[in-house]
Structure 1
Amino acid sequence: MPARQQPRRTARELTLLGLSQASGNDEKLAQQDLNALILAAVRTLTSEVRDALETAGLEVKRGSDRLNKSEIHAPDVHSGRVMVREAITLTEQAINRLGAALDLPEMITLANQKDVRDYAFELIGTIKRRKADISAELERSLVDWSLSRLPQLDRNILMIAVAEIRYHQIPNQVAINEAVELAKRYSDEEAARFINGVLRRFTNQKPLVVAEPEV
Protein backbone atom coordinates (compact mmCIF):
# COMPACT_ATOMS: atom_id res chain seq x y z
CA MET A 1 0.00 0.00 0.00
CA PRO A 2 1.45 3.40 -0.93
CA ALA A 3 2.50 5.73 1.86
CA ARG A 4 -0.02 8.33 2.85
CA GLN A 5 0.58 11.55 1.00
CA GLN A 6 -1.54 13.96 3.02
CA PRO A 7 -0.99 14.72 6.72
CA ARG A 8 -4.70 15.33 7.17
CA ARG A 9 -5.58 11.87 5.84
CA THR A 10 -3.43 10.35 8.56
CA ALA A 11 -4.98 12.74 11.09
CA ARG A 12 -8.46 11.54 10.10
CA GLU A 13 -7.45 7.94 10.73
CA LEU A 14 -6.01 8.88 14.11
CA THR A 15 -9.25 10.67 14.91
CA LEU A 16 -11.31 7.65 13.90
CA LEU A 17 -9.26 5.31 16.07
CA GLY A 18 -9.21 7.81 18.92
CA LEU A 19 -12.97 8.21 18.89
CA SER A 20 -13.39 4.44 18.83
CA GLN A 21 -11.39 4.23 22.05
CA ALA A 22 -13.10 7.14 23.75
CA SER A 23 -16.04 6.99 26.09
CA GLY A 24 -18.67 9.59 26.89
CA ASN A 25 -17.77 13.22 26.26
CA ASP A 26 -14.26 13.13 27.66
CA GLU A 27 -12.51 16.14 26.12
CA LYS A 28 -9.25 15.13 27.80
CA LEU A 29 -8.77 12.47 25.13
CA ALA A 30 -6.51 14.75 23.12
CA GLN A 31 -4.17 15.01 26.10
CA GLN A 32 -3.57 11.27 26.24
CA ASP A 33 -0.33 9.78 24.96
CA LEU A 34 -0.88 9.21 21.26
CA ASN A 35 1.14 6.02 21.04
CA ALA A 36 -0.81 4.49 23.93
CA LEU A 37 -4.01 5.40 22.10
CA ILE A 38 -2.84 3.67 18.93
CA LEU A 39 -1.76 0.59 20.89
CA ALA A 40 -5.28 0.33 22.27
CA ALA A 41 -6.61 0.73 18.73
CA VAL A 42 -4.39 -2.14 17.51
CA ARG A 43 -5.87 -4.38 20.19
CA THR A 44 -9.38 -3.33 19.24
CA LEU A 45 -8.82 -3.93 15.53
CA THR A 46 -7.20 -7.30 16.19
CA SER A 47 -10.14 -8.36 18.33
CA GLU A 48 -12.60 -7.22 15.66
CA VAL A 49 -10.71 -9.13 12.96
CA ARG A 50 -10.73 -12.29 15.06
CA ASP A 51 -14.45 -12.00 15.83
CA ALA A 52 -15.36 -11.22 12.21
CA LEU A 53 -13.40 -14.18 10.85
CA GLU A 54 -14.89 -16.52 13.44
CA THR A 55 -18.42 -15.38 12.60
CA ALA A 56 -17.67 -15.62 8.86
CA GLY A 57 -16.48 -19.20 9.31
CA LEU A 58 -19.66 -20.15 11.13
CA GLU A 59 -21.79 -18.53 8.41
CA VAL A 60 -19.91 -20.42 5.69
CA LYS A 61 -20.51 -23.71 7.49
CA ARG A 62 -24.20 -22.97 8.04
CA GLY A 63 -24.62 -21.88 4.42
CA SER A 64 -22.83 -24.99 3.18
CA ASP A 65 -25.06 -27.21 5.29
CA ARG A 66 -28.15 -25.51 3.91
CA LEU A 67 -26.95 -25.87 0.33
CA ASN A 68 -26.18 -29.55 0.85
CA LYS A 69 -29.78 -30.07 1.92
CA SER A 70 -31.18 -28.11 -1.01
CA GLU A 71 -32.03 -31.17 -3.07
CA ILE A 72 -34.57 -32.15 -0.42
CA HIS A 73 -35.62 -28.71 0.82
CA ALA A 74 -35.74 -26.20 -2.03
CA PRO A 75 -36.20 -23.10 0.26
CA ASP A 76 -32.82 -23.86 1.81
CA VAL A 77 -31.08 -22.77 -1.40
CA HIS A 78 -31.97 -19.13 -0.83
CA SER A 79 -31.11 -19.08 2.88
CA GLY A 80 -27.85 -20.91 2.20
CA ARG A 81 -26.81 -18.36 -0.40
CA VAL A 82 -27.71 -15.49 1.95
CA MET A 83 -25.49 -16.97 4.66
CA VAL A 84 -22.59 -17.36 2.26
CA ARG A 85 -22.98 -13.74 1.08
CA GLU A 86 -23.00 -12.55 4.70
CA ALA A 87 -19.88 -14.59 5.36
CA ILE A 88 -18.13 -12.97 2.39
CA THR A 89 -19.07 -9.50 3.69
CA LEU A 90 -17.75 -10.30 7.16
CA THR A 91 -14.53 -11.65 5.69
CA GLU A 92 -14.08 -8.47 3.62
CA GLN A 93 -14.48 -6.35 6.76
CA ALA A 94 -11.98 -8.52 8.63
CA ILE A 95 -9.41 -8.26 5.83
CA ASN A 96 -9.83 -4.47 5.63
CA ARG A 97 -9.34 -4.05 9.37
CA LEU A 98 -6.40 -6.42 9.39
CA GLY A 99 -4.79 -4.35 6.64
CA ALA A 100 -5.39 -1.20 8.67
CA ALA A 101 -3.83 -2.78 11.74
CA LEU A 102 -0.75 -3.79 9.76
CA ASP A 103 -0.30 -0.19 8.61
CA LEU A 104 -0.44 1.24 12.13
CA PRO A 105 3.36 1.28 12.66
CA GLU A 106 3.57 3.72 9.75
CA MET A 107 0.81 5.76 11.31
CA ILE A 108 2.69 5.91 14.63
CA THR A 109 5.67 7.40 12.81
CA LEU A 110 3.54 9.95 10.97
CA ALA A 111 1.65 10.80 14.15
CA ASN A 112 4.84 12.34 15.52
CA GLN A 113 4.54 15.06 12.90
CA LYS A 114 3.11 18.15 14.55
CA ASP A 115 0.62 19.00 11.79
CA VAL A 116 -0.80 15.46 11.84
CA ARG A 117 -1.11 15.35 15.62
CA ASP A 118 -2.54 18.86 15.91
CA TYR A 119 -5.26 18.30 13.32
CA ALA A 120 -6.26 14.97 14.86
CA PHE A 121 -6.63 16.60 18.26
CA GLU A 122 -8.59 19.49 16.74
CA LEU A 123 -11.04 17.08 15.14
CA ILE A 124 -11.44 15.00 18.29
CA GLY A 125 -12.04 18.14 20.33
CA THR A 126 -14.59 19.48 17.85
CA ILE A 127 -16.55 16.23 17.79
CA LYS A 128 -16.57 16.02 21.58
CA ARG A 129 -17.75 19.60 22.01
CA ARG A 130 -20.26 19.57 19.16
CA LYS A 131 -21.47 15.98 19.47
CA ALA A 132 -25.12 16.92 20.06
CA ASP A 133 -25.25 19.28 17.06
CA ILE A 134 -23.42 16.86 14.77
CA SER A 135 -25.69 13.99 15.82
CA ALA A 136 -28.80 16.09 15.16
CA GLU A 137 -27.53 16.99 11.69
CA LEU A 138 -26.87 13.35 10.88
CA GLU A 139 -30.22 12.12 12.21
CA ARG A 140 -31.92 14.35 9.64
CA SER A 141 -29.81 12.83 6.89
CA LEU A 142 -30.60 9.19 7.68
CA VAL A 143 -33.50 7.52 5.86
CA ASP A 144 -35.43 4.85 7.81
CA TRP A 145 -32.45 4.51 10.13
CA SER A 146 -31.08 6.00 13.34
CA LEU A 147 -27.58 7.04 14.28
CA SER A 148 -27.50 4.80 17.36
CA ARG A 149 -28.10 1.70 15.22
CA LEU A 150 -25.03 2.27 13.06
CA PRO A 151 -21.76 0.42 13.76
CA GLN A 152 -19.49 2.63 15.84
CA LEU A 153 -16.85 2.97 13.13
CA ASP A 154 -19.42 4.05 10.53
CA ARG A 155 -20.96 6.51 12.97
CA ASN A 156 -17.58 8.03 13.77
CA ILE A 157 -16.66 8.35 10.09
CA LEU A 158 -19.85 10.33 9.52
CA MET A 159 -19.14 12.56 12.52
CA ILE A 160 -15.63 13.32 11.29
CA ALA A 161 -16.97 14.40 7.89
CA VAL A 162 -19.69 16.61 9.37
CA ALA A 163 -17.22 18.19 11.79
CA GLU A 164 -14.85 18.99 8.94
CA ILE A 165 -17.58 20.51 6.77
CA ARG A 166 -19.35 22.51 9.47
CA TYR A 167 -16.48 23.62 11.68
CA HIS A 168 -13.20 23.26 9.77
CA GLN A 169 -14.16 24.73 6.38
CA ILE A 170 -13.26 21.57 4.46
CA PRO A 171 -15.01 21.52 1.04
CA ASN A 172 -18.00 19.20 0.89
CA GLN A 173 -16.60 16.92 -1.81
CA VAL A 174 -13.22 16.58 -0.11
CA ALA A 175 -14.80 15.62 3.21
CA ILE A 176 -17.16 13.15 1.53
CA ASN A 177 -14.38 11.53 -0.50
CA GLU A 178 -12.18 11.15 2.58
CA ALA A 179 -15.06 9.63 4.56
CA VAL A 180 -15.74 7.13 1.78
CA GLU A 181 -12.05 6.14 1.72
CA LEU A 182 -12.09 5.63 5.49
CA ALA A 183 -15.15 3.40 5.15
CA LYS A 184 -13.49 1.31 2.42
CA ARG A 185 -10.40 0.94 4.58
CA TYR A 186 -12.05 0.08 7.88
CA SER A 187 -15.43 -1.36 6.85
CA ASP A 188 -16.57 -2.46 3.39
CA GLU A 189 -17.95 -1.25 0.06
CA GLU A 190 -21.55 -1.33 1.28
CA ALA A 191 -20.70 0.92 4.22
CA ALA A 192 -18.83 3.26 1.87
CA ARG A 193 -21.89 3.60 -0.38
CA PHE A 194 -24.14 4.16 2.63
CA ILE A 195 -21.88 6.86 4.07
CA ASN A 196 -21.61 8.55 0.69
CA GLY A 197 -25.42 8.74 0.43
CA VAL A 198 -25.88 10.07 3.97
CA LEU A 199 -23.27 12.79 3.53
CA ARG A 200 -24.67 13.89 0.19
CA ARG A 201 -28.10 14.30 1.80
CA PHE A 202 -26.45 16.18 4.66
CA THR A 203 -24.72 18.67 2.35
CA ASN A 204 -28.01 19.35 0.55
CA GLN A 205 -29.77 20.38 3.76
CA LYS A 206 -29.81 23.74 5.45
CA PRO A 207 -27.71 23.73 8.65
CA LEU A 208 -29.66 23.33 11.88
CA VAL A 209 -27.34 25.76 13.66
CA VAL A 210 -24.90 28.41 12.53
CA ALA A 211 -21.43 26.93 12.80
CA GLU A 212 -18.90 28.94 14.73
CA PRO A 213 -15.26 28.63 13.63
CA GLU A 214 -13.17 26.35 15.81
CA VAL A 215 -10.27 28.01 17.56
Structure 2
Amino acid sequence: MRARQISRELALLALSQLPSSPERLAKQELYNLVLAAVRTLTTEAHEALETAAMELDRGYQQLLKSETQAAHVESAQVMVRAAIEQVQVALNRLGAAIDFPERIQLANQTNVRAYALEILECLNAHRAEIDQLLEASLVDWQIQRLVRVDRDLLRIATTEMLYLGTPERVAINEAVELAKLYGDEEGHRFINGVLRRVVDQLQSRPPVGGVPTVTGDT
Protein backbone atom coordinates (compact mmCIF):
# COMPACT_ATOMS: atom_id res chain seq x y z
CA MET A 1 0.00 0.00 0.00
CA ARG A 2 1.52 3.30 -1.05
CA ALA A 3 1.95 5.95 1.61
CA ARG A 4 0.12 8.66 -0.32
CA GLN A 5 -2.88 6.44 -0.96
CA ILE A 6 -3.25 5.94 2.77
CA SER A 7 -2.64 9.67 3.34
CA ARG A 8 -5.57 10.54 1.07
CA GLU A 9 -7.82 8.07 2.83
CA LEU A 10 -6.68 9.36 6.22
CA ALA A 11 -7.31 12.97 5.18
CA LEU A 12 -10.77 12.05 3.88
CA LEU A 13 -11.82 10.30 7.08
CA ALA A 14 -10.22 12.77 9.49
CA LEU A 15 -11.28 16.00 7.76
CA SER A 16 -14.61 16.40 9.53
CA GLN A 17 -13.15 15.59 12.96
CA LEU A 18 -10.09 17.86 13.05
CA PRO A 19 -9.65 21.59 13.76
CA SER A 20 -9.38 23.91 10.78
CA SER A 21 -6.92 26.24 12.51
CA PRO A 22 -3.51 25.93 10.79
CA GLU A 23 -1.68 26.14 14.11
CA ARG A 24 -3.76 23.45 15.78
CA LEU A 25 -3.82 21.26 12.69
CA ALA A 26 -0.04 21.31 12.34
CA LYS A 27 0.31 19.94 15.88
CA GLN A 28 -1.76 16.84 15.20
CA GLU A 29 0.09 13.59 15.76
CA LEU A 30 -0.49 10.48 13.68
CA TYR A 31 -2.39 8.98 16.63
CA ASN A 32 -4.90 11.85 16.54
CA LEU A 33 -5.35 11.54 12.78
CA VAL A 34 -6.03 7.82 13.03
CA LEU A 35 -8.36 8.35 15.99
CA ALA A 36 -10.36 10.91 13.99
CA ALA A 37 -10.57 8.51 11.04
CA VAL A 38 -11.77 5.63 13.21
CA ARG A 39 -14.37 7.88 14.86
CA THR A 40 -15.72 8.84 11.46
CA LEU A 41 -16.00 5.21 10.42
CA THR A 42 -17.68 4.09 13.63
CA THR A 43 -20.10 7.03 13.54
CA GLU A 44 -21.11 6.11 10.00
CA ALA A 45 -21.50 2.47 11.08
CA HIS A 46 -23.84 3.48 13.91
CA GLU A 47 -25.89 5.63 11.54
CA ALA A 48 -26.16 2.77 9.05
CA LEU A 49 -27.32 0.41 11.79
CA GLU A 50 -29.93 2.90 12.96
CA THR A 51 -31.23 3.24 9.42
CA ALA A 52 -31.31 -0.54 9.06
CA ALA A 53 -33.30 -0.86 12.29
CA MET A 54 -35.88 1.63 11.05
CA GLU A 55 -36.19 -0.14 7.70
CA LEU A 56 -36.65 -3.49 9.44
CA ASP A 57 -39.35 -2.05 11.67
CA ARG A 58 -41.16 -0.57 8.68
CA GLY A 59 -40.87 -3.89 6.87
CA TYR A 60 -42.28 -5.71 9.87
CA GLN A 61 -45.25 -3.35 10.03
CA GLN A 62 -45.93 -3.97 6.36
CA LEU A 63 -45.76 -7.72 6.90
CA LEU A 64 -48.41 -7.42 9.59
CA LYS A 65 -50.69 -5.82 7.00
CA SER A 66 -49.85 -8.40 4.34
CA GLU A 67 -52.49 -10.89 5.50
CA THR A 68 -55.18 -8.80 3.84
CA GLN A 69 -53.22 -6.94 1.15
CA ALA A 70 -50.67 -8.66 -1.07
CA ALA A 71 -49.13 -5.31 -2.06
CA HIS A 72 -47.80 -4.94 1.46
CA VAL A 73 -45.65 -8.05 1.01
CA GLU A 74 -43.74 -6.47 -1.87
CA SER A 75 -43.34 -3.24 0.10
CA ALA A 76 -42.01 -5.17 3.09
CA GLN A 77 -39.53 -7.04 0.89
CA VAL A 78 -38.16 -3.76 -0.44
CA MET A 79 -37.70 -2.40 3.08
CA VAL A 80 -36.00 -5.57 4.32
CA ARG A 81 -33.60 -5.50 1.36
CA ALA A 82 -32.79 -1.86 2.16
CA ALA A 83 -32.17 -2.83 5.78
CA ILE A 84 -29.81 -5.62 4.74
CA GLU A 85 -27.87 -3.18 2.54
CA GLN A 86 -27.53 -0.77 5.46
CA VAL A 87 -26.27 -3.56 7.72
CA GLN A 88 -23.66 -4.42 5.08
CA VAL A 89 -22.57 -0.77 4.97
CA ALA A 90 -22.24 -0.79 8.76
CA LEU A 91 -20.19 -3.99 8.72
CA ASN A 92 -17.90 -2.54 6.04
CA ARG A 93 -17.35 0.62 8.08
CA LEU A 94 -16.62 -1.32 11.26
CA GLY A 95 -14.24 -3.58 9.36
CA ALA A 96 -12.42 -0.58 7.95
CA ALA A 97 -12.20 1.00 11.41
CA ILE A 98 -10.54 -2.15 12.74
CA ASP A 99 -8.24 -2.57 9.74
CA PHE A 100 -7.16 1.05 9.26
CA PRO A 101 -4.65 1.36 12.15
CA GLU A 102 -2.90 -1.81 11.00
CA ARG A 103 -2.52 -0.48 7.48
CA ILE A 104 -0.99 2.69 8.91
CA GLN A 105 1.49 0.55 10.84
CA LEU A 106 2.51 -1.25 7.65
CA ALA A 107 3.14 2.00 5.77
CA ASN A 108 5.82 4.64 6.20
CA GLN A 109 4.18 6.49 9.09
CA THR A 110 6.23 9.67 8.72
CA ASN A 111 5.27 10.07 5.06
CA VAL A 112 1.63 9.20 5.75
CA ARG A 113 1.30 11.84 8.45
CA ALA A 114 3.22 14.47 6.48
CA TYR A 115 1.17 14.21 3.31
CA ALA A 116 -2.17 13.84 5.08
CA LEU A 117 -1.47 17.02 7.03
CA GLU A 118 -0.28 18.82 3.92
CA ILE A 119 -3.57 18.01 2.19
CA LEU A 120 -5.61 19.16 5.18
CA GLU A 121 -3.62 22.35 5.76
CA CYS A 122 -3.69 23.32 2.09
CA LEU A 123 -7.39 22.53 1.78
CA ASN A 124 -8.25 24.67 4.79
CA ALA A 125 -6.03 27.53 3.63
CA HIS A 126 -7.59 27.66 0.15
CA ARG A 127 -11.09 26.31 0.84
CA ALA A 128 -12.85 29.38 -0.63
CA GLU A 129 -11.10 29.14 -4.00
CA ILE A 130 -11.44 25.34 -4.07
CA ASP A 131 -15.17 25.53 -3.38
CA GLN A 132 -15.59 28.28 -5.97
CA LEU A 133 -13.94 26.09 -8.60
CA LEU A 134 -16.07 23.11 -7.61
CA GLU A 135 -19.29 25.15 -7.64
CA ALA A 136 -18.53 26.14 -11.22
CA SER A 137 -18.01 22.45 -12.09
CA LEU A 138 -21.19 21.12 -10.47
CA VAL A 139 -24.33 20.74 -12.58
CA ASP A 140 -27.55 21.36 -10.66
CA TRP A 141 -25.74 20.86 -7.33
CA GLN A 142 -24.24 23.02 -4.61
CA ILE A 143 -21.08 22.00 -2.77
CA GLN A 144 -22.69 22.38 0.66
CA ARG A 145 -25.64 20.17 -0.34
CA LEU A 146 -23.46 17.18 -1.24
CA VAL A 147 -23.05 14.24 1.10
CA ARG A 148 -19.92 14.52 3.23
CA VAL A 149 -17.89 11.85 1.44
CA ASP A 150 -18.48 13.28 -2.03
CA ARG A 151 -17.84 16.86 -0.89
CA ASP A 152 -14.61 15.99 0.91
CA LEU A 153 -13.32 13.80 -1.91
CA LEU A 154 -13.88 16.59 -4.44
CA ARG A 155 -12.11 19.07 -2.19
CA ILE A 156 -9.13 16.77 -1.59
CA ALA A 157 -8.66 15.89 -5.26
CA THR A 158 -8.95 19.54 -6.30
CA THR A 159 -6.47 20.55 -3.61
CA GLU A 160 -3.98 18.01 -4.92
CA MET A 161 -4.34 19.09 -8.53
CA LEU A 162 -4.37 22.81 -7.86
CA TYR A 163 -1.79 23.21 -5.09
CA LEU A 164 0.19 20.01 -4.52
CA GLY A 165 1.29 19.21 -8.04
CA THR A 166 -0.48 15.86 -8.25
CA PRO A 167 -1.07 14.79 -11.88
CA GLU A 168 -4.70 15.21 -12.85
CA ARG A 169 -5.09 11.55 -13.83
CA VAL A 170 -3.69 10.38 -10.48
CA ALA A 171 -5.87 12.73 -8.42
CA ILE A 172 -9.03 11.69 -10.28
CA ASN A 173 -8.29 7.96 -10.17
CA GLU A 174 -7.50 8.06 -6.45
CA ALA A 175 -10.69 10.00 -5.69
CA VAL A 176 -12.77 7.56 -7.74
CA GLU A 177 -11.30 4.56 -5.90
CA LEU A 178 -12.02 6.13 -2.53
CA ALA A 179 -15.55 6.94 -3.69
CA LYS A 180 -16.07 3.27 -4.53
CA LEU A 181 -14.88 2.36 -1.04
CA TYR A 182 -16.75 4.96 1.01
CA GLY A 183 -19.52 6.29 -1.23
CA ASP A 184 -22.67 4.83 -2.73
CA GLU A 185 -23.00 2.95 -6.01
CA GLU A 186 -23.28 6.07 -8.16
CA GLY A 187 -20.88 8.24 -6.15
CA HIS A 188 -17.72 7.33 -8.04
CA ARG A 189 -19.28 8.24 -11.40
CA PHE A 190 -20.41 11.58 -9.98
CA ILE A 191 -16.91 12.26 -8.59
CA ASN A 192 -15.29 11.36 -11.90
CA GLY A 193 -17.58 13.66 -13.89
CA VAL A 194 -17.16 16.68 -11.61
CA LEU A 195 -13.37 16.36 -11.43
CA ARG A 196 -13.08 16.11 -15.21
CA ARG A 197 -14.99 19.39 -15.46
CA VAL A 198 -12.58 20.83 -12.87
CA VAL A 199 -9.68 19.77 -15.11
CA ASP A 200 -11.33 21.45 -18.10
CA GLN A 201 -11.54 24.67 -16.11
CA LEU A 202 -7.94 24.45 -14.96
CA GLN A 203 -6.70 23.87 -18.49
CA SER A 204 -8.50 26.96 -19.71
CA ARG A 205 -6.79 29.35 -17.28
CA PRO A 206 -3.20 30.14 -16.20
CA PRO A 207 -1.78 27.77 -13.56
CA VAL A 208 -2.09 28.87 -9.92
CA GLY A 209 -0.84 27.58 -6.59
CA GLY A 210 2.49 26.29 -5.55
CA VAL A 211 4.57 23.23 -6.23
CA PRO A 212 4.66 19.99 -4.27
CA THR A 213 6.46 20.31 -0.97
CA VAL A 214 6.37 16.60 -0.16
CA THR A 215 8.09 14.16 -2.48
CA GLY A 216 7.47 10.46 -2.75
CA ASP A 217 5.15 7.99 -4.38
CA THR A 218 1.61 8.72 -5.49
After TM superposition, the score normalised by the length of structure 1 is 0.82
Instruction: Tell me the equivalent position of 1:26.
Output: 21
Question: Is 1:180 paired with 2:176?
Answer: yes
Whole-Å Cα distance in 2 between the matches of residues 134 and 82 of structure 1? 40
Q: What is the Cα-based RMSD across aligned positions, in Å?
A: 2.7
Whole-Å Cα distance in 1 between the matches of residues 205 and 73 of structure 2? 48
Whole-Å Cα distance in 1 between the matches of residues 122 and 78 of structure 2? 41
After TM superposition, the score normalised by the length of structure 2 is 0.81
Residue 78 of structure 1 and its aligned partner are, at CA, apart by 6.9
Whole-Å Cα distance in 2 between the matches of residues 211 and 85 of structure 1? 48
The alignment of Structure 1 onto Structure 2 pairs a total of residues equal to: 209
Report if the CA contact (8 A) 1:138-1:147 is conserved. Answer: yes
Partner deviation per Cα, 1:22-76 (whole Å, 9 max, x = no partner): 24x31131321220231233233223212211211221331353366456274x5
Residue 103 of structure 1 and its aligned partner are, at CA, apart by 1.5
Letter in 2 for 1:213: G
Mind listing any 5+ residue stretches in structure 2 that lack a counterpart?
214-218
Q: Which runs of 4+ in 1 moved over 4 A?
A: 76-82, 206-210
Q: How is 1:1-215 mapped onto 2 (pairs within 5 angstroms)?
A: 4=1, 6-23=2-19, 25-27=20-22, 28-66=24-62, 69=65, 72=69, 74=71, 76=72, 80=76, 83-84=79-80, 86-110=82-106, 113-206=109-202, 210-214=207-211, 215=213
Whole-Å Cα distance in 2 between the matches of residues 52 and 194 of structure 1? 22
Partner deviation per Cα, 1:112-140 (whole Å, 9 max, x = no partner): 53222221121111101110011111112
Residue 152 of structure 1 and its aligned partner are, at CA, apart by 1.9
User: Could you say if the C-alpha distance between residues 205 and 33 of structure 1 is closer, same or farther in structure 2, counting changes exceeding 3 Å?
Assistant: same
Q: Secondary structure at the match of 1:62?
A: helix
Report if the CA contact (8 A) 2:179-2:187 is conserved. Answer: yes
Residue 172 of structure 1 and its aligned partner are, at CA, apart by 1.9
Residue 180 of structure 1 and its aligned partner are, at CA, apart by 1.5
Whole-Å Cα distance in 2 between the matches of residues 141 and 78 of structure 1? 40
